[in-house]
Amino acid sequence: MPIPIPVTKTKIATVPWGIPITNEVNRLTTVTTPTAWTNVTAFLNGWVAYAGLRAPRYRKIGDIVYVEGFVRNGTVGAAAFIMPTGFRSNDSYNIACVSNSLFGYISVNPDGSIVPQVGASAWFSLVCQFPTT
């Protein structure tokens, strides 16, 4: 049976030191409309979409950004593209991925850069998610 989403800010609980957790509960249970998928069109440092496979794209649901797709033929360690404002993380993340059928990782940086860091330039899978807060 689904749990109904609260529609009012009724105080439902308090942590031991007396701070209401209502706003956090409401934030976590608010229905969020996802953005549409947006294809990456501006690649950097020789990176291109891998033709025949999923083109790189991104979307946001709440404060989580989802990226998917494949890039190839660029400079490993250099940005493949830059995420637009509103889709950038506040922190740097190194995220494991598949690169040319082996282990690799990509870096997601606060400046918006998505950087294939470890792997082969033959191709990188960019399937990842990260918070914007």
State which residues form the domain around 7.
Answer: 1-31
103-to-35, 71, 100 alpha-carbon distances in Å: 30, 15, 8
Per-residue pLDDT of the chain (133 residues; tens, 9 = 90+): 566 665 555 555 555 555 566 666 666 666 678 999 999 999 999 999 999 999 999 999 989 999 999 999 999 999 999 999 999 999 999 999 999 999 999 999 999 999 999 999 999 999 999 999 8
57-61 and 48-49 beta bridge pairing:
unpaired
Q: Are residues 68 and 101 in the same domain?
A: yes
Q: Are residues 42 and 74 in the same domain?
A: yes
Q: Are residues 18 and 60 in the same domain?
A: no
| Rounded (10°) CA dihedral 93, 88, 82, 35 | 120
Evaluate whether 93 touches 126 at the Cβ level (below 8 Å): no
**Which single residue is written with the structure tokens 């995220």?**
95
Please state whether the predicted TM-score (pTM) of the whole model is above 0.85. no
Residue 18: its pLDDT value, please? 55
The tally of domains found in the chain comes to 2
Residue 32: its pLDDT value, please? 75
Q: What is the DSSP string of 34-91?
A: PPPPEE-----TT-EE-TTSPPPEEEEETTEEEEE-EEESS-TTS-SEEPPTTS--SS
Residue 33: its pLDDT value, please? 83
Q: What angle do CA 93, 99, 104 make, to 5 degrees?
A: 40
Q: Are residues 26 and 80 in the same domain?
A: no
**Which single residue is written with the structure tokens 């606060």?**
110
> Helix H segments across the chain?
22-29
Whichever domain contains 81, its CATH number is 2.60.40.1830
Q: Are residues 47 and 91 in the same domain?
A: yes
